[in-house]
Amino acid sequence: MFKWKTISLSTLLLSVFMLSGCNIKVLNPQGPVAEDQFQLILWSLGFMLFIVLVVFSAFTIILVRYRDRPGHQNHDPEQEGNKWLELLWTVIPIIIIICLAVPTVRTIYALEDPPKQSKDQEPLTVRVVSSDWKWIFVYPEQGIETVNYLNIPADVPIKFRLTSAGSMSSLWIPSLGGQEYAMAGMMTQLILEADHPGTYVGKNANFNGKLFQKMKFNVHAMTREDFQAWAEKVKKNAPKLTKEQYLNILEPGVSAKKTFSSTHLSFVNHVKEPDFAVKHTEILPPH
C-alpha cells in the first residue's frame, strides 16, 4: 500500500547514505515491529519534507524579493497582519498534527501486543536483567539463562520482560524495533520479532556509567527448529547457575558470554528486591 512512497522516499534517503556507504539500521527493518515503526517514520517524513519545502522556498523568495536594494518597491511598513493568512498557517499545522497523531496513537497501542502477522504464534517470553555492565537473559519456559547474547526463534514474537539489578538501562535492537527501559524494582515489557534468521546488534541505549559503551550483545535469530535444538542442548549440557556464580556475574564490570541450564529466578527476583545486587556485591559504600 505504501509501496510507491516507500520506494521514492527510501531512494531519496538512501542516495544520501550512499555517500557514507552504510545501510541505516532503523530504515532497514528486519522484523514486523521495526517495520511498523519504519512506516510511521516514513509517513512523518513525507509531511516534514513538505513543511521544509514550504518554509525554505517562502524564506528564499522573501529574502530575494524584499532585500534592501536600490529601486526596491513594494515596501509596506505598516502591514501588521492578515487574518486569512494567519488562519491558514494555523489550520494547516493543526491538520498535519492530526494526520500524524492518528497513526501514532494507533501504533502506540499496536506495539503493546504481538504483531498481527504472528497472531497464531505463542510469544516466547524472555526475562531480561540489566546489570552494570552486561545483559542477563532468562528463558523461563526453557529453564535456561544466557549472559551477553540472545538466541531467538525467527517469526515468533518475543515478549521481553525487563528489569535491572542496578542502574537504569534501555534495551535497544535497532534492526528489530524500538527500545524500552530496564529499571530496578520494576518490570517493563517490550515485544520484538525477527522475520528471518540473522544476527543483529543489541545494545544499551541509556547511559549508565563507566563501561556503558561495552554493554552490547548479539541477537541470533534462527529457525524455530534450530532454536528448539539449541535450548534443549543447553538444558542438557550447560552447567547449572549457582548463587555464588550469579553474584559473581552481578559484580560491576563486563562479562564474557555465558550459558546456564538453570535460572537465577530460583534465588532472586530483582523486581521485588531492587537492592539485591547493591547488598551482595562489591559496590563501594559512599563515605
Partner 1 sequence: MNHHVDHFFVKGDPMIYAADLMIIMTTLAVIFVLTYYKKWKWLWNEWLTTVDHKKIGIMYIIAAVLMMFRGGVDALLMRAQLTVPNEDFLDPQHYNEIFTTHGTIMILFMAMPFIIGLMNVAVPLQIGARDVAFPYLNALSFWSFFTAAMLFNLSFVIGGSPDAGWTAYAPLAEPELDPGVGQNFYLLSLQISGFSTLATGINFFVTILKMRAPGMSMMKLPIFSWSILVTSAIIIFAFPILAIALALMTFDRLFGAHFFTLTGEGLPMMWANLFWLWGHPEVYIVILPAFGVFSEVISTFSKKRLFGYKAMVWSMVLIGFLSLIVWVHHFFTMGAGPDVNSFFSISTMAIAIPTGVKIFNWLGTMFRGRIQFTTPMLWSLAFIPCFTIGGITGVMLAMAAADYQYHNSYFLVAHFHFVLISGTVFGCIAGLLYWYPKMFGHMLNEKIGKWAFWLFVPGFLICFLPMFFLGLDGMTRRVYTFSNSHWTDLNVIASIGAALMGIGFMVLVYNMIWSARYGKRDKTGDPWDGRTLEWATPTPIPHYNFALIPRIKRLDEFWYVKQNNEPSVLRSLPVSKLKPIHMPNSSGRPFVMSWLFFIVGFAAVFYVYWVAALALIGVLVCMGLRSFEIDDGHYVSVEEIKRTEKNRIKEA
Return the residues of window 235-264 that contact partner 1 according to CB under 8 A. Answer: none
* Contact string 84-123 vs partner 1 (x = CB under 8 A): -xx--xx--xx--x--xx--xx-xxxxxx-----------
Contact 122, 112 (CB under 8 A): no
Our finding on whether 172 is near partner 1 (CB under 8 A) is yes
CB of 251 to partner 1, least distance (A): 13
Instruction: Rule CB under 8 A: choose which of 158, 184, 194, 221 binds partner 1.
Output: 184
Measured distance CA(206)–CA(173) in Å, rounded: 13
Q: Is the Cβ of residue 151 or residue 170 nearer to partner 1 in the bound state?
A: 170
Strands (E), 197-267: 198-204, 216-222, 258-260
3-state secondary structure of 49: helix
CB of 233 to partner 1, least distance (A): 30
The count of residues interacting with partner 1 (CB under 8 A) is 97
What part of residues 54-83 is at the interface with partner 1 (CB under 8 A)?
55-56, 58-59, 62-63, 66-68, 72, 74-82
**b/e 48-70 (16+ beta carbons within 10 angstroms → b):** eeeeeeeeeeeeeeeeeeeeeee
What part of residues 207-236 is at the interface with partner 1 (CB under 8 A)?
207-213
Residue with cell 531492587: 274
Contact 187, 117 (CB under 8 A): no
What part of residues 3-62 is at the interface with partner 1 (CB under 8 A)?
16-17, 19-27, 34, 36-37, 40-41, 44-45, 48, 51-52, 55-56, 58-59, 62
Residue with cell 542438557: 236
Q: Is the Cβ of residue 102 or residue 229 nearer to partner 1 in the bound state?
A: 102
Q: How wide is the angle at C-alpha 167 spanned by C-alphas 165 and 168, nearest 5°?
A: 100
